[in-house]
Amino acid sequence: MSDPAKAAFFEFDAAGLEGWCGARGMPRFAAKQLLEWVYGKGIVDVDRMTNLSKAHRDLLAHEMGFLQGTELRNLEATDGTRKLLLGWPAPGAAATSLPVLGVATGRETECVMIPSEERRTACVSSQMGCPVGCRFCASGLEGVEGNLTAGRIVEQVWRLGQQPGVGRITNVVFMGMGEPLANASAVMNAIRAINAPWGLGISARKITISTVGLPAAIRRLCDFELPVTLALSLHAPNDELRRQIIPWAEYSTVPELLDACQEWFRKTGREITLEYILLGGFNDRREHAEELARVARTIRANVNLIRYNEVDGLPFARPGDEDVLEFQGILRRAGVNTHIRASRGRDIKAACGQLRHESMKSAG
């Protein structure tokens, strides 16, 4: 459980941790030892950090906190997908007001580990809730409580890697709760720690930022020093349809988004992934696929089709398998590289925001 009076380990980069140790009379190499214990060995119990002196372990026990979040729920699906619901303390919260099991505050987030033969993908949140309010998504049903800090983002990846049988996390996707580019500074600092040799050491090319589309923010991201992957949550091939399901689509048009994506490709040389959630009877018809193909061919992009996971109380349906395959076929015949994302963790409500929404309904 987090103690707000203590420094938060995951908020430090290597230089900052070295300075913190030095200011307390610890040798500067103690920072390297700490990083190795936490990131390299997965140890956050200072009593087990045996190459540190007893005096320094005592100091760390009093002044350094390692895990800020409280694990409220931990579920494993039949396909091996794991989902954590984490509660975060309010800024400056007293220990008596930290998150507790069964009490929803709105300061909960979800993170998911999705296994495959070669990958262990961490899907992490960047905000507590979501300000976008997509009509089909549970993440924004209770609005947004606030941003996650860089350390709290990194902690999600670390926690998922510590789950039994998971091993090393290989990929990270910012496709959980929140709009990553609405919390860009914290997200980029988190990516630096996730990528760094002293941190989790995950290749930047295996880190994906998924955005609903903020053209100015996409252009700023073009100058980010690490070669991350960019995914655009398009979900409709035209503005009229898109504005029915994505409130923020009122602020930017599909052509404006595509222009920002063109700049991304010109500056980085990396193509865009267009994320498209298929909502049965709404955006999954032949004419939608044909129009999406025309849109996708205007930029260097591939298309990732996502079958909708139903959310209780929302009016959208999961499309039929035949409709999904027909939609993919139209895109492929038009020369668009298109994949269907495998649905994972449906039996533990692994889609964005579902577990948090369910917990808040129960608490209410």
Q: Is residue 91 pLDDT above 90, yes or no?
A: no
More confidently predicted of 155 and 99? 155
Mean pLDDT of the 63-74 span = 96
The span from the CA of 194 to the CA of 154, in Å, is: 7
CB 44 within 8 A of CB 66: yes
| Ranges of each domain in the chain | 7-65, 70-363
pLDDT band at 1 (very low <50, low <70, confident <90, very high): low
Q: Three-class SS of residue 20? A: helix
Q: Is residue 42 pLDDT above 70, yes or no?
A: yes
Q: How far is CA 296 from CA 29, 173, 217, in A?
A: 51, 22, 21
Q: Is residue 35 pLDDT above 80, yes or no?
A: yes
Mean pLDDT (the chain, rounded)? 91
Task: Count CB-CB contacts under 10 A for residue 173.
Answer: 19
Residue range 191-213, pLDDT digits in tens:
999 999 999 999 999 999 999 98
Q: Is residue 37 pLDDT above 60, yes or no?
A: yes
Residue range 203-250, pLDDT digits in tens:
999 999 999 989 999 999 999 999 999 999 999 999 999 999 999 999
Mean pLDDT of the 250-256 span = 95
pLDDT band at 28 (very low <50, low <70, confident <90, very high): confident
Residue 357: predicted pLDDT: 47
Question: Would you please indicate which residues are annotated as catalytic (active-site) residues?
Answer: 110, 352
Residue 95: predicted pLDDT: 46
CATH (residue range 7-65): 1.10.150.530
Q: Is residue 101 pLDDT above 70, yes or no?
A: no
Q: Is residue 346 pLDDT above 70, yes or no?
A: no
More confidently predicted of 313 and 24? 24
Residue 347: predicted pLDDT: 62
Region of poorest pLDDT, from 98-112, 129-143, 169-183, 270-284 = 98-112
Task: Kindly state the tokens that stand for 157.
Answer: 């990846």
Q: What is the DSSP letter of 37?
A: I
Q: Enumerate the H helices of 3-53 as residue ranges.
A: 14-23, 29-35
CB 33 within 8 A of CB 49: yes
Residue 96: predicted pLDDT: 45
pLDDT band at 351 (very low <50, low <70, confident <90, very high): low
Q: What is the DSSP letter of 203?
A: -
Entry pTM: 0.91
The span from the CA of 343 to the CA of 350, in Å, is: 9
CA 106 remoteness from chain centre: 17
Task: Kindly state the tokens that stand for 196.
Answer: 């760094």
Mean pLDDT of the 289-301 span = 97
Beta bridge partners of 171: 121
Task: Give the E-state strand segments of 32-168 in sequence order.
Answer: 64-65, 70-76, 82-87, 108-115, 120-123, 127-129, 144-147
Which CATH number among 3.30.40.230, 3.20.20.70, 3.40.50.970, 1.20.140.10 corresponds to the domain 70-363? 3.20.20.70
CB 87 within 8 A of CB 70: yes
Residue 213 falls in which region: left (phi positive, over 0), alpha (psi -120 to 50) or beta: left
- Label the pairing between strands 127-129 and 144-147: antiparallel
Q: Is residue 125 pLDDT above 50, yes or no?
A: yes
Q: How far is CA 80 from CA 77, 115, 163, 206, in A?
A: 5, 6, 11, 21
Mean pLDDT of the 26-33 span = 95
